[in-house]
Structure 1
Amino acid sequence: MTKSIILTFALFLSFNLCNAQKNIPADLVPKGYVLFKEYSGDLNNDNRKDYVLIIKNTKEEEIVENRFGDVVDRNRRGIIVILNREGEFEKVVENNDCFLSENEDGGVYMPPELWINIEDNKMKIHYGHGRYGYWEYIFKYLESDFKLIGFESSENQGPKVLYRTRIDFIKKEKTLSENMTRDTESEEEIFEAISYDIQIDDLIKLSEIKDFQNLDMSKY
């Protein structure tokens, strides 16, 4: 193999490696933050793998001692949503500090666990609270942003569901369900549901949510 061929091959390899490195979603994490968790799935129905990054701030002053005497990281977390445009990655949402730290004080119980589900081209921001239930915000890519189209929650007593809430912001409808079988020993669950219309002028944008803790769904 001649030197010119070797040089050409080396330049070709270097060029492609640089392009590959440019397109790694983790490279889109802003300065002063670290990648906390990465999720992937098709978010815009084009059969390509898109990415959701949970990022975390790194401020030294947020490394504190909790009420038990343990040193914990109370830096807030944020979210970046990246769409795959034929191999080029486009950051469509960046909201750097909208989530509490995973080390917040949970009171009498542990703090809720945050994770992301990507299903049917929707992004579901899920808070699991163990035997107490869960709540979930459902977003869809609409008009160059991710907008809140649904909300679901479950209030539990151990394994038994007591109440369910579902909000459809597209249909402008809220459904409340109550389990009429309160016996914790009974496996039977009989729900009575009531639905009513809600008032909302504009869908909430993920990019504009300052703090999910203050996102009050009870007003709808």
Structure 2
Amino acid sequence: MRIKLIGFLLLCHTALYAQTFKFPTVPEQGKTIASLVPPTWKVIDSVKGDLNNDNISDLVLVMEFYRPVKENRAYGDNETEIITEVQKPRILAIYFRRSASGAYKLVTQNNNFILRSEEGGGMGDPIRPLSIDSNALSLSFEGGGNWRWKLFYTFKYQDKEWRLTKANNYTWHTGSGEMNDKQYDFVNKKRTVTSGTIDNKASANETFEQPLPLKNLRTFTSFKKPWTWQISPDEFL
């Protein structure tokens, strides 16, 4: 009887993880953070600040599901190298507030861009604190092993889209100290690249600028998640 029970529980567990996960639609509005969190989800980061230049503090939440599920995640670009991982899904939710005492109203729900806890390599969870500055939202991640990386993305709300205006891809080797720092300015369409070692002073490293011939700014819609935008051969952001 005990063997049958164990077998039944294992079968239920397998069936549960084999199901296709469906993201909930987060609440459209609420006055408190607690009122904006779906059941079985929790807030793992939040930030308040003015995102639409009306001098009223808005709200950004990163929420995580309570248990790991199977997720298909893109590597290399948005269409190829799709792999399946068992991890806890995450949601980025952005709310505007029309008055200092009014409710937060949902502007954007994004289920893809926030890296999961298993996507940081040897350094563990890659997510770093959110920030808002000059009406722009910045997302940052860090991970890797011997070769480590830091990614920074700055989005601004323009014409009802979250447009990527700046980014930074910084990599370095923990043993040799070799480093490569790429600063992207998508508004002015230029890239600044610094290479050398982390121990050198700025004057000892090599820095040069390059044009970025881009027609349109990337958005949350056209830029699915970190590491999936191939800007040039062997260069991903």
2:115 to 100, 109, 112: 100
Counting matched residue pairs gives 186
* Contact in 1 for aligned 2:149/2:169 (Cα 8 Å): yes
Report the counterpart of residue 70 of structure 1 in structure 2. Answer: none
Query: What is the alpha-carbon distance in structure 1 between the residues aligned to residue 49 and residue 35 of structure 2?
Result: 18
User: How many Å apart are 1:89 and its aligned residue?
Assistant: 1.8
- The structure-2 alpha-carbon separation of the partners of 1:53 and 1:105, relative to structure 1 and needing over 3 Å to count, comes to closer
- The structure-2 alpha-carbon separation of the partners of 1:148 and 1:74, relative to structure 1 and needing over 3 Å to count, comes to same
Report the counterpart of residue 200 of structure 1 in structure 2. Answer: 214
- The structure-2 alpha-carbon separation of the partners of 1:141 and 1:105, relative to structure 1 and needing over 3 Å to count, comes to closer
User: How many Å apart are 1:84 and its aligned residue?
Assistant: 1.4
User: How many Å apart are 1:30 and its aligned residue?
Assistant: 4.6
* Contact in 1 for aligned 2:181/2:193 (Cα 8 Å): yes
Report the counterpart of residue 149 of structure 1 in structure 2. Answer: 165
Counterpart residue type for residue 90 of structure 2: R
Report the counterpart of residue 186 of structure 2 in structure 1. Answer: 169
Query: What is the alpha-carbon distance in structure 2 between the residues aligned to residue 115 and residue 208 of structure 1?
Result: 23
Report the counterpart of residue 136 of structure 1 in structure 2. Answer: 152
Query: What is the alpha-carbon distance in structure 2 between the residues aligned to residue 172 and residue 105 of structure 1?
Result: 29
Query: What is the alpha-carbon distance in structure 2 between the residues aligned to residue 213 and residue 56 of structure 1?
Result: 21
- The structure-2 alpha-carbon separation of the partners of 1:172 and 1:110, relative to structure 1 and needing over 3 Å to count, comes to same
2:45 to 16, 37, 46: 37
- The structure-2 alpha-carbon separation of the partners of 1:32 and 1:96, relative to structure 1 and needing over 3 Å to count, comes to farther
* Contact in 1 for aligned 2:30/2:104 (Cα 8 Å): no
2:87 to 64, 74, 78: 74
- The structure-2 alpha-carbon separation of the partners of 1:161 and 1:115, relative to structure 1 and needing over 3 Å to count, comes to farther
Aligned to 2:195, what secondary structure does the other structure show?
A: strand
User: How many Å apart are 1:78 and its aligned residue?
Assistant: 2.0
* Contact in 2 for aligned 1:92/1:145 (Cα 8 Å): no
User: How many Å apart are 1:38 and its aligned residue?
Assistant: 1.5
- The structure-2 alpha-carbon separation of the partners of 1:153 and 1:170, relative to structure 1 and needing over 3 Å to count, comes to same
- The structure-2 alpha-carbon separation of the partners of 1:209 and 1:29, relative to structure 1 and needing over 3 Å to count, comes to farther
| Aligned Cα root-mean-square deviation (Å) | 3.2
User: How many Å apart are 1:132 and its aligned residue?
Assistant: 2.9
* Contact in 1 for aligned 2:171/2:179 (Cα 8 Å): yes
Counterpart residue type for residue 74 of structure 1: Q
Report the counterpart of residue 57 of structure 1 in structure 2. Answer: 65
Counterpart residue type for residue 143 of structure 1: D
With 120-129 and 32-41 compared, the bigger mean Cα shift is at 32-41
| Structure 2: gaps of 5 or more residues | 1-28, 71-85
Query: What is the alpha-carbon distance in structure 2 between the residues aligned to residue 93 and residue 29 of structure 1?
Result: 14
User: How many Å apart are 1:155 and its aligned residue?
Assistant: 2.0
- The structure-2 alpha-carbon separation of the partners of 1:219 and 1:172, relative to structure 1 and needing over 3 Å to count, comes to farther
- The structure-2 alpha-carbon separation of the partners of 1:209 and 1:58, relative to structure 1 and needing over 3 Å to count, comes to farther
Report the counterpart of residue 91 of structure 1 in structure 2. Answer: 106
TM-score, with normalisation over the residues of structure 2? 0.65
- Structure that is richer in helix per residue: 1
User: How many Å apart are 1:74 and its aligned residue?
Assistant: 1.3
Larger Rg: 1
TM-score, with normalisation over the residues of structure 1? 0.69
